[in-house]
Chain A
Amino acid sequence: MRFPAQIIAGALGVLAEACPLAAQEDLVTDISQHQISIRSNFTGADLLLFGTVGSTPSDERDIVIVVRGPDAPVVVRRKERIGGIWVNYGSAEVENMPGYYAVVSTRPLEEIAPASVLERYGIGVKYLGLRPPEGKAAPLPKPYVEAATRIRSREDLFVEQPGKVLFLGTSLFRATIGMPANVPDGLYTARVYLFSEGNVLQAQTSTLFVNKVGFERLVFDFAQTRPLAYGILAVLIALFAGWAASAIFRGR
């Protein structure tokens, strides 16, 4: 193995993780936005990632960009027909389900690198490195994992788009990644990998935040941190609205 595993585990926010073998292939990248704000009119966002790469030993070179949202524990439930109706029956817990996962590349992933390399770097929706909660020895059942990825893909939260990274000339590349309106908020990492002949030559990580801001943030935080006050306020608003409606229409 030519490249240390630390590349994957690289600290968040580190801009360049230089690889000793690839000193001359300087990969420089950036994102159009490091902060995405979810406001009341949020309908999704387009991320523009771009960068340059120096010369590579071989002509074959590929760029793969992975944007991964915050991991969170989820339960996958499976419906069974019981007594004629469909009921949640089996379930499996996934400890680290990414809330968002997009991978764009110059070519289809399987043409860029062998499965073992993709798996090692966690590139592609098949290689998310999902695991059960700590203390549960049993591995995640495959149908549940597949279903979880399928559901997220259908909501456009998991995206795999080969051919989305375009080279403009010899060294400049760019890619746009669409984020749907239902992206979860939190810390995202964007990793740009430079591949050549099936191996990672260089990788770079940057981070971005997706945040609910303004009124939405206020309402959400209020509901989470002071639920009693929030509930009482919700009732007071309704009481007032009901009284106001009755006062307005009374004259008729």
Chain B
Amino acid sequence: MQLYLPIAELSVNALIILGMGGAVGFLSGMFGVGGGFLMTPLLIFTGIPPAVAVATEANQIVASSVSGALVHWRRGAVDVKMGSFLLSGGVAGSFVGVWIFALLRSVGQVDLLIFLSYVVFLGIIGTLMLVESVHAIMRARKAGATVPHRRGQISWMRALPLRTRFRKSRLYMSVIPPLAIGALVGILAAIMGVGGGFIMIPAMIYLLRMPTNVVVGTSLFQIIFVTGLVTILHAVENQTVDVVLALLLLIGGVVGAQFGARAGQNLRGEQLRALLALMVIAVCLRLLFDLVVEPEERYELAPAGETDR
């Protein structure tokens, strides 16, 4: 079933896009991640212009994070105060990210920016996750060993000013680290078309030392607003949000996530993380391959003056 995408300006098979949404949704339901970091590269691999893939995926993440965040909200697992500081940073970060994006787009380097960001971040995250999960699997094999849970803050963070109390997270700390983490995530959301959970969640656990039960809900809370803002900014600055594509993706994604969540219950946490890590590394290598191998066509055509406004 061919469907013409009005903004991407090409015709795609709607069933393939629905299937991709479903597959990534399945994985994100299974692993409890947003899936943007898988979806955006997949869209690029199918021929959607990278700039459209990034902006449209941000739009789709709004939908998937809303349905996720509502679940956590009902459980009371959202630290709104912490979320608001992360969000304030995220707002600033998204403006910076979209500005960088538009700037590089006008000089023809936005694809490079997207690819390099993916290679670097997926490479780092994938490797860290793989190492961590393999350790966890080996630890689990040694009977009786328990995972040490560290509380309290990292020493240099204690020196930062502007401390305040985060009741839900049971923390008394400076607002600077959440602002900084939020800003970084905002920049990545704008450039990579991701929610940024894969950066934010580890940062919340290992840097902010937030209790794990509020981490996912709080990060989803921030992601809704940041990806929403990123969608609007991309629509205004680059006109690259394709609502038809976004709708197809989110229909597939919502359904896939439901099945994925059920499938994930039968697998162990550390095995899930190891699987996810391998997948992240695979996407990273595929993108790296595209950058390193001599392209078949060394030239490309782009409309002139795309962003000369």
Contacts and interface: CB of A to CB of B under 8 A. Distances in A.
Contacts of A79: 295, 298-300
Nearest to B11: A181
B64 A242 contact: yes
A75 B301 CA distance: 6
A179 to B, nearest CB: 12
Contact of B235 (A228, A245, A249): A228
Interface string A18-41: 000000000000000000001111
Contacts of B254: 241, 245, 249
Nearest to A233: B243
A74 B302 contact: yes
A249 B234 CA distance: 31
Q: 6 closest pairs, A vs B, by CB?
A: A242-B66, A231-B235, A147-B299, A231-B232, A238-B62, A73-B304
Contact of A231 (B11, B236, B304): B236
A84 B254 CA distance: 40
Given A182-B9, A238-B59, A241-B63, A77 B299 contact: yes
Nearest to A246: B67
Interface in B227-266: 228, 231-236, 239, 241, 243-244, 246-247, 250-251, 254, 258
B60 interface: yes
A73 B303 contact: yes
12 contacts: A40-B4, A72-B304, A75-B301, A77-B302, A81-B294, A151-B301, A216-B4, A233-B243, A235-B62, A238-B231, A238-B250, A239-B228
Interface of A: 38-43, 72-79, 81, 84-88, 91, 93-94, 97, 133, 143-144, 147-148, 150-152, 154, 181-182, 212, 215-217, 219-220, 223-224, 227-228, 230-235, 237-239, 241-243, 245-246, 249, 252
A77 B108 contact: yes
A245 B63 contact: yes
A75 B305 CA distance: 8
Contacts of A143: 299
A223 B6 CA distance: 9
Given A42-B11, A227-B236, A242-B63, A219 B301 contact: no
B6 A86 contact: no
Contacts of B251: 241
B164 interface: no
A74 B302 CA distance: 6
A140 to B, nearest CB: 13
A46 B106 CA distance: 36
Contacts of A212: 6
Contacts of B294: 81, 86
A242 B304 contact: no
Nearest to B10: A182
B28 interface: no
